Structure 1
Amino acid sequence: MSSGLKVRKAGIFLSISSLPSSFGIGDFGEEAYNFVDFLKNSGQSIWQILPINPTSEKFGNSPYHALSLYAGNYILINPEKLHQEGLLNKEELKDIPSFPKEKIEYKKIYKFKEMLLRKAYNRFKPDWEYEKFCQENKDWLEDYAFFEALRLKTDKEWKEWDEDLKKRKSSAIKSAKEKLKEEIGFIKFIQFIFFKQWFALKNYANSKGIHIIGDLPIYPAYESFEVWKNPKIFKLDKELKPCTVAGVPPDYFSKTGQLWGNPVYNWRKLKETSFEWWIKRIEHNLKLFDFIRLDHFRGFIAYWEIPAGEKTAVNGKWIKAPAEEFFERILKTFPSAGFIVEDLGEITEDVKYIKNKFDFPGMKVLEFAFYKSKSPYLLHNCERNSVIYTSTHDLPPVKAWFKKLDKKYKEKIFKYLGKKIKEREISWEMIRLAYMSRSAFVIIPMQDILSLGEEAIINTPAKPFGNWEWKMSKNYFSSELIEKLHEYVLIFER
């Protein structure tokens, strides 16, 4: 039912937040356009990014603990573009805090960007473009703006609000909306600017032949707008507290599993509405991205459900989801959508069945390839309908991984390569392997292209804080690097 991946392509995986920037964090400004040009000049045709939804310092700034699945993260808005629109003056752009060059300091950035956006909002005069945006996004925008305005006003998450607001009593919401009118306007303005800047960047990328792969986290955060607005589609009790929460059992990353804490779906309720909530969510994301990576694909077939209150993920159990009916509905609604499924880890036969039935391309990761014989991640075992990576955002860059690798596994790599290599050579040797694989798409994290080590780890699973902080230096590319990547594209016909 899915078209799968037919054409060989090459691309780079880089979070927008990791782009160089004078404003503390990568954003939708000039450096993003420069990166698109870098992709084009080096023969790439794909840019894979991390989720771009609102994050919070309280939750480790994780893009997978977003406070909305629809809204955009205001810290990705570029101030120079606000100046170009006459919403900020030159003096306001000069008064920039001192930010680290190669690390994201979120606390400063949230405060700084909000301050600039409030100044821009005071000069903003709504026009037809703004009105059109509000109309096209009315299904979520007005309610989200109220939700976020109340969060900012009370400095509390929705679970801590007064009972009537927590349970969305219309009289309480009407009264609060009147008091928050100005703040609601500010939030809507932020979203208008965010999507205006995002679509300008996406259109530029598409005009250069670059397709963008976006990431669709399987679960929203418990604290999110979506859980507050749609409590019936999650397993919550009468007090709107989670009965059970999401995670994964003990695995490669953690002996006690991963306790994510997100509320799990009430798939029976979702099925009763013909999965309408999911249809709207995917429709929104298909406007934002050219391809969608379905995060934690096996959770759509069976998910690990942990009793609320557990300290680890050990005491969970697998619960089946109506996968066949769900994906039939999705693909009937979006027959030409480009989905890529995250099928890493221990994948059971029922997961393979759904993946094969709908012809979904899965992921191959070379860092997993050398631990056992007949590994599905080795080049000769990769099926064409797949996307191959050297590493991912949940793994250390290849150089850091290789440095700590047991000698016996290093020997397996040397035999596979047909030669012994040094640590400084491993990143590009793995890139070469990925490029020559049968996989239709090859996507290399920028950290591996730059042969970076531990200093460029972006996320360590099961570590709640201190992640998502890596930022690329401004002089990341050279003519030699562009030529080398372009040569690989030509040699391996991508």
Structure 2
Amino acid sequence: MINNERLSGILLHPTSLPSPYGIGDLGDEAYAFIDFLARAGQHLWQVLPLTHTGFGDSPYQSFSAFAGQPLLIDPRHLIRLGLIGGWELTDCPIADPSHVDYGQVIPWKEKVLALAYSRFPQKRHEIPGMDQSFQEFCESNRYWLDDYALFMACKKLHHGADWLHWPDEYRCPTLEFKAGLFKSMHEDIEYYRFIQFLFFDEWKRIKKYANDHDIRIIGDIPIFVSMDSADVWANQHLFQLDSKGYPTRVAGVPPDYFSATGQLWGNPLYNWEAHEAEHFSWWISRIRAQLRNLDILRVDHFRGFEAFWSIPYGEPTAVNGEWVKAPGHALFSAVRDAFEGDLPIIAEDLGIITPEVEALRNEFGFPGMKVLQFAFDSLDEGSYLPHRYTSPVCVCYTGTHDNDTTRSWYQTLRPECRDKVRSYTHCSNDTHFPLDLIGTALASVAAYAIFPLQDVLCVGAEGRMNTPGIGAGNWSWRYQQSALKDELADELRGMTILYGRY
């Protein structure tokens, strides 16, 4: 996948863009960010999952593994299409432009999208090509779009309740019952098709603009899907569920040095035998759909494709789980055959990594991850220190979305560890330290070096994107457009050229 390249880029989820509508979107500010990347000599833009998030607003817990995030739709594009008027956006609730208030943004955005849809039946025939484009989109994405739209319509009917709490006939519907729902709920179903059409139309333009500026987009695909998702509801045989749809085993990770009880994620586990019997067609469709809209995929929790921690449903913690082998070799062989070549995949190989996991990663040539924040004060420091990298087939990060910002991390280190970090990075100015760590990543032999925008801007703890295990206050950080200064782009470009990544 890497092909002897030396590239670098920035990790920034689109919700963090400085749109004037309470949350980052795919509007002008996204194009401005791509312009900044180009000025700064960067060739990679990494994002978190772009899917339709569920309760908790986490990109890793979505209503669909395929559907795009409606909150990212740019209202200004709806104005250009004639679906809404600019005066209809003046009531946007912006309390704090530096953070997303999902409680205010979600109902407002839903109101705007509903208003746009109310005018769509007429406008689709007035705007040249729109009706045909919409029909072609619905047809080419029917394999996931119909189930998603029906699922969301049923969720609306049941006032947002988790599908496990729907009446039996909705929870485990027969084909005949579903056919009836497609007729009786046509209007709501068409609305959800409409918002997906808008999202992917805007995202397609963003990706083309990035690619035209020699910038590739790295996406993120979680290994597991949310229990409350169209994927599980419509494909119950592909998951470890009982006859009523309830999970029998769920995902997590075992107890370790950091947690005496492990982590209980609660995602339903795959029925891998059923996936194998269908030649992994669901997975192939999922990866193909992602790679239509992205250039490279980071696969989250890669170790779960070799063996996963299986916990009985209903357990209060992850303690009583067990390791179960997964058919990673068969899966990725099938995917590789379907794509007729190497796969543009980055393996998130953090955590409990065994020789078997490394062998699976290496067999398919997937680069792994090296996180510099883990290199100086952790159990894994031996493998994460750049001078110990044994191969360029890896991606070096200063930190990830789950880490504290580099500035805050540095400030909270033990004094002796901070001295070690300062010496290793040749840091002479603590305020400037995040850029010194970026320089260390750029100088490494890793083929790709990626750093969160928070580190480029030297942002403190207020810029942390996610704190694992904390349910509230995550995924909300935003930057201001004025922060992307030309001087900063010039400095980053100079470092990138110096270390041969331009």
Q: Shorter-chain-normalised TM-score: which range?
A: over 0.9
- Unmatched segments (≥5 aa) in structure 2: 125-130
Q: Deviations over 1:155-182 (max 9, x none)?
A: 1221111111211212332333333111
The 5-angstrom pairing of residues 49-448 of structure 1 reads 49-56=47-54, 59-125=55-121, 126=124, 127-155=131-159, 156-251=161-256, 254-334=259-339, 335-371=341-377, 375-382=382-389, 383-417=391-425, 419=426, 421-448=428-455
User: Which among 30, 33, 42 is matched to residue 32 of structure 1?
Assistant: 30
Length-normalised TM-score, structure 1: 0.96
State the distance in 2 between where 1:403 and 1:385 align.
31
Q: Distance in 2 between matches of 1:5 and 1:239?
A: 48
**2 CA distance for matches of 1:465 and 1:256?**
21
Residue type matched to 1:69 in 2? A
Q: Measure how far apart 1:95 and its partner are.
A: 2.7
Cα distance per residue 1:204-228 (max 9 Å; x no partner):
1111111000000101100100000
**CA distance in structure 2 between the aligned counterparts of 1:414 and 1:146, rounded to whole angstroms:** 55
Q: CA RMSD in A?
A: 1.5
Does the CA contact (< 8 Å) of 2:306 and 2:327 recur in 1? yes
Give the 3-state SS of the residue equivalent to 1:139 in structure 2.
Answer: helix
Point out the more displaced range, 133-142 or 10-19.
133-142
Q: Is the 8 A contact 1:393 1:459 kept in 2?
A: yes
The 2-side partners of 1:253 and 1:395 are apart by: 14
Equivalent pair of 1:306/1:315 in contact (CA under 8 Å) = yes
How far does the alpha carbon of each residue in 1:50-72 deviate from its partner, in whole angstroms, 9 at most, with x for none? 1111113xx31111011101111
Distance in 1, matches of 2:500 and 2:296, equals: 21
State the shift of 1:474 in Å.
2.4
Residue 468 of structure 1 is matched in structure 2 by 475
Work out whether residues 80 and 93 of structure 1, in 8 Å CA contact, stay in contact via their aligned partners in 2.
no
C-alpha separation in 2, matches of 1:257 and 1:428: 34
Q: Whole-Å Cα distance in 1 between the matches of residues 88 and 397 of structure 2?
A: 42
Query: Residue 44 of structure 1 corresponds to which residue in structure 2?
Result: 42
Q: Give the CA deviation at 1:373.
A: 8.1
Q: Structure 1, residues 253-309: CA drift from partner, whole Å, max 9, x if none? A: 533222110001111111111111101111101101000001100000000111111
Task: Kindly indicate whether the alpha-carbon contact (under 8 Å) linking 1:5 and 1:385 is maintained by their aligned counterparts in 2.
Answer: no
Map Cα deviations across residues 353-403 of structure 1 (whole Å, 9 max, x no partner): 111111110111000001358611111122201111101001101111111
List alignment gaps of at least 5 residues for structure 1.
none
CA distance in 1, matches of 2:116, 2:396: 43
Kept after mapping to 1: 8 A contact 2:2/2:447: no
Q: Is the 8 A contact 1:20 1:473 kept in 2?
A: yes
Q: TM-score, normalised by structure 2?
A: 0.95
* Separation in structure 1 between the aligned mates of residue 318 and residue 136 of structure 2, nearest angstrom: 45
Preserved contact between residue 253 and residue 461 of structure 1 (Cα < 8 Å): no
Cα displacement string for residues 59-91 of structure 1 (whole angstroms, at most 9, x for unaligned residues) = 311110111011111111000011011111121
Distance 1:368 1:41 in 2: 30
The Cα of 1:423 is off from its aligned counterpart by 3.3
2:127 corresponds to: none
CA contact (8 A) 2:427 2:436 kept: no
Q: Could you tell me how far apart the structure 1 residues matched to 2:141 and 2:433 are?
A: 47
Verify the 8 A CA contact 1:5 1:361 in the aligned structure 2.
no
- The answer on whether the counterparts of 1:247 and 1:258 sit within 8 Å (CA) in structure 2 is yes
| Segment of structure 1 superposing worse, 220-229 or 159-168 | 159-168
Q: Per-residue CA shift, 1:7-51, capped at 9, x if unaligned?
A: 000100000001111111100000000000000111000000011
More moved, 130-139 vs 458-467: 458-467
Q: How many residue pairs get matched?
A: 489
Query: Does the Cα contact within 8 Å between 2:374 and 2:381 map onto a contact in 1?
Result: no
How far is 1:420 from its partner? 5.9
> Is contact 1:60-1:466 (8 Å) kept?
no
1:481 matched residue in structure 2: 488
Query: Is the 8 Å Cα contact of residues 286 and 337 (structure 1) preserved in structure 2?
Result: no
Distance in 2, Cα, partners of 1:114 & 1:366: 40
Equivalent position SS for 1:391: coil
SS in 2 for 1:260: strand
Structure 1 residue 476: Cα displacement: 1.6
> Structure 1 residues 118 and 268 mapped into 2: Cα distance closer, same or farther (>3 Å)?
same
Question: Conserved in 2, the CA contact under 8 Å of 1:303 and 1:319?
Answer: yes
Letter in 1 for 2:190: G
Measure the CA separation in 1 of the matches of 2:184 and 2:337: 44
Is the 8 Å Cα contact of residues 22 and 92 (structure 2) preserved in structure 1?
no
In the alignment, which of 6, 19, 22 is matched to residue 20 of structure 2? 22
Q: Does 1:12 align with 2:10?
A: yes
With 326-335 and 104-113 compared, the bigger mean Cα shift is at 326-335
Q: 1:424 to 1:243 in 2, by over 3 A?
A: same
Aligned mates of 1:349, 1:165 — CA distance in 2: 45
The more displaced of 471-480 and 217-226 is: 471-480
SS in 2 for 1:261: strand
Q: Which shifted more, 276-285 or 375-384?
A: 375-384
Does the aligned pair in 2 maintain the 1:257–1:314 contact within 8 Å?
yes
Amino acid at match of 1:15: H
Distance 1:182 1:34 in 2: 36
